[in-house]
Each structure stands twice: as C-alpha cells, then as structure tokens.
Amino acid sequence: MNSLRTDVLVHVTATDRPRDKALEILRRVEGGVFADALLEQVRQAFDGRDSSFIVELVYGTLRNRSWLDWVLNVLSVQSLEKTDVWTRNILRLGAYQLLFLDRVPASAAVNTAVNLAKVYGKKHGYVNGLLRNLDRRRNTITYPETENPAKRFSVLYSHPEWLVKRWLRRFGIKSTETLLRNNNLPAPLVIRTNILRSTRAQLCQALASQGVATKVTHYSPVGLEIVTSPGIRSLMAYEQGWFIVQDEAAQLIGLMLDPKPGEAVLDACAAPGGKATHLAELMHNQGTVIALDNNPERIARIVENSTRLGITIIDAIQGDATNYHEGTFDRILIDAPCSGLGVLRRHPDGRWNKRERLIKDRAVEQQRILENCARLLKPGGALVYATCTTEPEENEEIVNLMLDAAGTGCRLDDPRPFLPASAASFVSDKGFLRTYPQEPGMDGFFGARLVRDNGP
C-alpha cells in the first residue's frame, strides 16, 4: 500500500489510531521497507504519548518477531506463514502487547486487534480466538526444545539464524547470547554537545531547566545520555543547536581522526552529517570539511544539521566516494556504507530486511572507496576507516587488503593517543577499535586509523 489507509479509519476508534499506524509500518517492513523513515513521517501527526507508543509497538514487535511467531504457531491450528500479511502482523502486534506490555490491559490488546482485523485481513474470528487462547495460556509457554543453539537463539532472541551462526563461530555461546539479549534492549538516546556553542556541563544544566534528565557518558567527553525528556525537537537547546543526536561509539570515531583548525578534511560518506559536524566542531569551525554523499535527499540533511548547529565550514557535495578525485586532504573520514549489523538494537527491522549476501556486496564497495580515498590523502595526513558492523569481511579485512596492496604509502596508526583514556581498552593489539552492544553497551562500531608516510 503506497499511502496510509485514512479511508478506512472510520472503522477504528480514535484510540486505536496508534495501533493502526504501527500495523501499517509493520506490514511495509515485511515488504522490505525500513522502519525509520516511516516512523518519522507517521509520528508527526501524534502527540508525544501516542508517538512514543507507536515506536514501542513497532520496535518491540520487530525485536521479538521470531519469538512471537513461535508462540503463536504453537497455539494456532495453522502456520502464521500461511495467513495473509495483515493478519500475521495484527497477531504479532497483539501478542507483543499481551506478553511484553504490562500497562496494556489484555482486553484492550485483544479487542483492538480484533477491530483492526475487521478492517485489514478480514479474519477477526481467527485473531480473536488465537489471542484469547494466548492470554489464557501465557504462563504455560515453554522455551523451544532443541539442542541446536543457533536455532534456539534465533527463536528466543529473534535474530536470523544465519547471523546467529556467524556470531556463535566468532564469539562463542555465552558472548553471543549476551549480544543477542542486549540487541533486544532499547538503545539509549545519546547526544553530543556542540562545543562551538556550549560545554557539556552548560548543556546538562540547560536541559535540566527544560525538564530533561541526563547522565554523562563514560567514554565520550562531550556526550550525554537522555534519561527522560518531553521530546528532543521541542527543546530550546535543540532549536538553538546546542547538541545533535549521536551514539557514543560514533563520537569516538571523530576523535580518532583528530582534525585541526585550518585543515582540509573529507568526510567521504557524510549523510546525515553527524560525523561531519563533529569534525567541524573539533576544528573550531576553521578550515574546510567536504561532506560527500551520493544521495541528494541526504545532502539536504547535512545542510539542515550544519545550519542548526551554526557550522559554516561544511561544503555538502553530491558525489560518489568510489571515484571522487577533487583535491587532496589533510584528513579523511570514511564512514563506509555497510551491513549495519552492529546497530540492530537501534534498527531491529534490519534483522528481517538483510541477507548474508549483503556482507560481500558491501565489502566490494568498501574496498573501492578506501582505495580511492587513500589516493586523496596528503603526505603525513591521517585517514579513519569506520563501519557500524560486526563482520570482519567489512572491517579489518578491508583495511588489510588496502595495506597489502603495493604503492599505497599508508600504514596502520595507533588511535589510542587520540581517544579518551577510558576508551583505550576498545583498541586491539593490532590497532583496531571495536565496540559492541554487549560490552561496553554502545553501538557496534569498527575503526582503523591510517597515516600516509611523508615520502622521501
């Protein structure tokens, strides 16, 4: 369906509209669409309470989809896969509320699901019977009985089995289970202080005066975690550009590059501008940051964020990082397009929309970007290659391929002198930075710092 079904909302009471929109998003996600943009669009029509409820319903259902399907299949006379996409997602939505949301009465979860089924799917009797059966038997549900840890974890923690197998091979049973469990927790909302306009202490005080509870991040010197808030975009500190939303792990990547005022810097895959603006702030808004991206719509996001933060040295340019060749640079950041498997707690729909093949496809593109951008680095300059994925084919293997190639003139550099002392433990003996959702509880990022020799 290309647009929201406003024509049928007469069948659903006003209090059901958040569930109606959550259902529409879940249906489209199953068709291959990512949830973020849909949520951003839909939430604008709701107040803060209903907006938060929609996010809870969508992300909660996606984070637990395999487990919900397993439970429903145990109780159903037919497999969920044999019913239509609307009915399937109505059942998931209802089951999520019954099993995970104590504040939602069981009667409300069932009745609203039945009302939705009368409009979408037309199987309200089936939905009513199955969800009421689930409500009666919810305390008797047992874990899947299988000795295969990949299959068991895939169901219990709702991750694709191919990915669970990969992580079991690399991390072992205990660490994999911890990673899967943490991926199912809501990701913290972390912001980065705009040091051009405020200090972290000043921002913390300003936010407190606006009803926001925060706590300082342990690893980033300018980060704050939002504990409670009336809504980010409603805050005066947001409107005045005192901060930008950015996970703590991503903040470490900018510090690794260590750009200086007056330098020429390239952010090769820049949208939506979080890291480009960080680099400009570290440069005290002096010099030049070329923010490159191949999507014109995403270029607009870079401009929007730069303008709000009061940054004037960013030049947002549409271009392809695999063949861009305009000038040379003192510093280059490559936040490479990747499989995104390190941020599944933040984007749970990625579990269901991504396939293992994507890792190889991304690796080909990443290698081309790194090889091209390394040629643009001035003698003595520094380059940081980063991803938000856990997979070695997209991380150290890409860096090692480039370093092994003849004539690159680059070598791996130790990033620890440029990081806070508390983050030094994230750097391996080989000089690669890695963070994971299970430990230290940040997004899963990889980073490598390279430097070009000064030459003869």
7-22: average pLDDT = 60
The pLDDT of residue 282 is 98
Q: Are residues 241 and 352 both part of a single domain?
A: no
CB 23, CB 116: distance < 8 Å: yes
Q: Is the pLDDT assigned to residue 5 strictly greater than 60?
A: no
Domain presence at residue 232: yes
Lowest mean pLDDT among 3-12, 79-88, 220-229, 427-436: 3-12
The pLDDT of residue 47 is 83
Q: Is the pLDDT assigned to residue 393 strictly greater than 50?
A: yes
Q: Are residues 48 and 122 both part of a single domain?
A: yes
Q: Which of 222, 245, 268 is the last residue of a domain?
A: 245
3-state helix, strand, coil in the chain (%, to 5): 50, 15, 35
Q: Are residues 238 and 171 both part of a single domain?
A: no
Backbone angles phi, psi at 178, to 5 degrees: -65, -40
Per the structure, the complete domain to which residue 128 belongs is given by 6-140
Q: Are residues 108 and 63 both part of a single domain?
A: yes
The pLDDT of residue 410 is 93
CA distance 245 to 232: 9
* Tally of domains within the chain: 4
Domain presence at residue 293: yes
3-state secondary structure of 248: helix
426-430 contacts, C-beta under 8 A, 24 or more apart = 426/252, 430/396
Domain presence at residue 402: yes
The pLDDT of residue 318 is 96
Backbone angles phi, psi at 97, to 5 degrees: -65, -40
Token couple for 302 = 């870079």
334-351: average pLDDT = 96
3-state secondary structure of 75: helix
Confidence label for 455 from pLDDT (cuts 50, 70 and 90): low
Tally helices (H) and strands (E) across the chain: 17, 12
The pLDDT of residue 388 is 97
389-408: average pLDDT = 91
Q: Are residues 407 and 332 both part of a single domain?
A: yes
Q: Are residues 175 and 57 both part of a single domain?
A: no
Q: Are residues 265 and 378 both part of a single domain?
A: yes
Domain presence at residue 396: yes
Q: Which of 110, 140, 170 is the last residue of a domain?
A: 140
Q: Are residues 169 and 124 both part of a single domain?
A: no
Q: Active-site positions?
A: 388
Q: Are residues 240 and 280 both part of a single domain?
A: no
Q: Which of 224, 245, 266 is the last residue of a domain?
A: 245
CATH number at residue 377: 3.40.50.150
43-60: average pLDDT = 90
The pLDDT of residue 12 is 40
Backbone angles phi, psi at 390, to 5 degrees: -95, -5
The pLDDT of residue 452 is 94
Q: Is the pLDDT assigned to residue 66 strictly greater than 90?
A: yes
User: Is cis: bond before 437, omega within 30 of 0?
Assistant: no
340-351: average pLDDT = 96
Token couple for 446 = 């990889």
55-70: average pLDDT = 96
Q: Are residues 13 and 79 both part of a single domain?
A: yes
With a pLDDT cut of 90, the percent of the chain lying above it is: 84
The pLDDT of residue 258 is 98
Torsion of CA 165, 345, 275, 329, to 10 degrees: 10
Confidence label for 3 from pLDDT (cuts 50, 70 and 90): very low
CB 235, CB 207: distance < 8 Å: yes
Domain presence at residue 111: yes
Q: Maximum distance among all alpha carbons in the chain?
A: 79
Domain presence at residue 1: no
What is the tens place of the pLDDT at every residue in 156-206?
A: 999 999 999 999 999 999 999 999 999 999 899 999 999 999 999 999 999
Q: Which residues contact 115 (CB under 8 A, 6 or more apart)?
A: 11, 12, 13, 16, 124
293-299: average pLDDT = 92
105-126: average pLDDT = 94
User: Which spans in 258-326 are helix H?
Assistant: 274-282, 296-309
CATH number at residue 220: 3.30.70.1170
CB 180, CB 159: distance < 8 Å: yes
Segment (H or E) for 356? none
What is the tens place of the pLDDT at every residue in 260-270?
A: 999 999 999 99
Q: Is the pLDDT assigned to residue 7 strictly greater than 50?
A: no
13-36: average pLDDT = 86
User: Which spans in 189-344 are helix H?
Assistant: 200-209, 236-239, 248-257, 274-282, 296-309
CATH number at residue 104: 1.10.940.10
How does the average pLDDT of the chain come out, rounded?
A: 92
Q: Are residues 157 and 284 both part of a single domain?
A: no
Q: Are strands 329-335 and 288-293 parallel, antiparallel or unpaired?
A: unpaired
The pLDDT of residue 8 is 31
340-363: average pLDDT = 96
Domain presence at residue 392: yes
Confidence label for 144 from pLDDT (cuts 50, 70 and 90): confident
Q: Is the pLDDT assigned to residue 101 strictly greater than 90?
A: yes
The pLDDT of residue 57 is 96
Quickly list DSSP for 4-72.
--GGGGGGS-GGGHHHHHHHHHHHHHHTT--HHHHHHHHHTTS-HHHHHHHHHHHHHHHHTHHHHHHHH
Q: Are residues 320 and 195 both part of a single domain?
A: no
Confidence label for 2 from pLDDT (cuts 50, 70 and 90): very low
Lowest mean pLDDT among 73-82, 190-199, 414-423: 73-82
The pLDDT of residue 9 is 32
Domain presence at residue 355: yes
The pLDDT of residue 122 is 85
